[in-house]
């Protein structure tokens, strides 16, 4: 998750969030560019201060719930990668792949710390690795012994995240944060693309982007993650059928499908995430 997505969700329950933060759009622009001016470690404090100014000392319940949901997802992603790196020796081959997985893990930890700083004492209880079950009840029993399985589970998380970030461009239209929102979103998509490329290097027939057909949305070859890709085989955009557009027979259904990503609603994201959380700690 990221700050733009967080603000998008908060705006759904508090339409005046931007006015609460500052009547001056330039102040928001300054906040989003602060990473160029101060150490990233200070970001949680800055974000927490921003929400304190917006709402006073107490965050509205709906806002707390939204931030804690985002925090829960980031905890899961961090633990998936971190456990592979520190407790599954030999799982990830040394070299470029190890470097890439380490970088992605570090990104997830940065998101966790940012959200914890924003929530302060309202942050949910930490989701520890012991609360997780990345085998999904045994579905992926070899997730930490089979590199291909690990990557497919990771891909499921990344593709879920990318789809969960959709819709923000419309919400942020006309605001100075739109460019930053698109930059952050593109980075999340690159995580997924990188993992897909690693899988392709292992001989898995998969492209760097999601593709499908008239009847299949899931292109991973793993039916257990069908929910992650539900609705990804649409070839109608803005009411226009892309397949064969303008009489071009070269635009096949598969080509039309892979040109666009589709959104995934919050309830669907929670359902997917809960597959990897032990009973008693569900979102």
| 6-33 pLDDT tens trace | 666 566 655 556 665 555 455 555 555 5
Q: Is residue 251 part of a domain?
A: no
Q: Which residues of the chain have pLDDT under 50?
A: 24, 34-36, 38, 56-57, 168, 171-181
pLDDT confidence of residue 161: 77
Q: Is the dihedral of CA 178, 184, 185, 190 positive or negative?
A: positive
Cα angle 232, 207, 240; round to 5 = 35
pLDDT in tens, 255-273: 888 888 888 777 888 888 8
Percent of the chain with pLDDT over 70: 68
The domain in which residue 170 lies consists of 3-205
Is 33 strand, coil or helix?
coil
Q: What integer pLDDT is reported at residue 138 of this predicted model?
A: 94
90 φ/ψ sector (left φ>0, alpha ψ -120 to 50, else beta): left
Reported pTM: 0.73
**Unique residue bearing structure tokens 């971190």:** 82
Is 163 contained in some domain? yes
- How confident is the model at residue 213, as a pLDDT? 72
Asked, for residue 249, whether it belongs to a domain, the answer is no
Q: In this structure, is residue 128 part of a structural domain?
A: yes
The phi and psi torsions of 186 (rounded to 5 degrees) equal -65, -35
| Predicted local confidence at residue 109, as pLDDT | 87
pLDDT at 121: 86
CA distances from 27 to 11, 21, 64, 117, 207 (A): 18, 9, 23, 20, 41
Question: How far is residue 153 from each of residues 76, 87, 167, 209, measured CA to CA in Å?
Answer: 12, 17, 25, 16
116 domain-assigned: yes
The tally of domains found in the chain comes to 1
| CATH number of the domain that residue 199 is part of | 1.20.1260
Whether residue 211 is contained in a domain is answered as no
């Amino acid at each position: 998750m990221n700050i733009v997505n967080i603000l998008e969700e908060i705006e759904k329950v508090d339409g005046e969030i931007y006015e609460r933060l500052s009547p001056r759009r330039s102040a928001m622009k300054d906040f989003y560019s602060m990473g160029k001016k101060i150490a990233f470690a200070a970001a949680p404090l800055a974000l927490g201060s921003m929400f304190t100014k917006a709402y006073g000392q107490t965050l509205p319940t709906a806002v707390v719930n939204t931030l804690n949901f985002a925090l829960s997802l980031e905890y899961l992603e961090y633990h998936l990668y971190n456990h592979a790196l520190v407790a599954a020796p030999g799982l990830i081959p040394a070299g470029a792949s190890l470097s890439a997985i380490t970088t992605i893990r570090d990104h997830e930890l940065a998101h966790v710390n940012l959200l914890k700083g924003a929530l302060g004492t309202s942050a949910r209880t930490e989701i520890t690795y012991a609360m997780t079950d990345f085998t999904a009840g045994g579905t992926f029993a070899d997730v930490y012994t089979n590199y291909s399985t690990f990557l497919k589970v990771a891909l499921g998380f990344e593709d879920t995240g990318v789809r969960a970030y959709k819709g923000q461009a419309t919400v942020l239209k006309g605001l100075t944060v739109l460019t930053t929102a698109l930059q952050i979103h593109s980075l999340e998509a690159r995580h997924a693309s990188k993992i897909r490329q690693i899988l392709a290097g292992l001989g898995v027939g998969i492209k760097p982007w999601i593709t499908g057909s008239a009847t299949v949305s899931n292109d991973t070859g793993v039916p257990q993650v069908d929910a992650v890709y539900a609705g990804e085989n649409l070839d109608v955009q803005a009411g226009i059928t892309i397949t064969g557009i303008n009489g071009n027979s070269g635009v096949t259904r598969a080509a039309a499908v892979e040109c666009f990503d589709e959104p995934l609603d919050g309830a669907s994201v929670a359902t997917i995430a809960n597959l990897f959380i032990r009973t008693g700690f569900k979102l």
